[in-house]
Amino acid sequence: LSAVVAARAQLQQEPLAETTDGTGINISCSHPNIQRTELIYWYHQLPGRGPEYLVSANKESKELPDGAGHLWVSSDRKSSALYLSRPRRGDSAVYYCALGD
């Protein structure tokens, strides 16, 4: 599994994260200038498709559907990490984090 993550202004993501089939992986995002009203969003984009919403959170961690993993948010909200608990080869995608009201 190869997860390519893309950086955006005000956000920093690792450029590449890899794991083997079925082994959990953390994909991290730093957002040090997050505003009080902004939520943290995560998306993924599979090859040949548009971006798809995965999960969003304010302060609390959130579980992904079907036990696929969870979104962790730091106590100061300046970083987050998407944990995929049992990724498969078909989960290879570009993973984006984003901020928004």
Question: What digits encode the pLDDT tens for the residues 6-44?
Answer: 444 456 666 567 776 767 888 889 998 888 888 999 998
Q: Is the pLDDT of residue 3 over 70?
A: no
Q: What's the mean pLDDT when you consider all of the chain?
A: 82
Cα 7 versus chain centre, distance? 12
Mean per-residue pLDDT, 81-94:
84
The CATH fold assigned to 23-100 is Immunoglobulin-like (2.60.40)
3-state secondary structure of 66: helix
pLDDT at residue number 13? 66
Tokens representing residue 86 in the block = 């049992």
Strand pairing partners for 43?
53, 96
Instruction: Give the residue with greater pLDDT, 6 vs 95.
Output: 95
pTM strictly above 0.75: yes
Tokens representing residue 58 in the block = 């304010």
pLDDT at residue number 14? 63
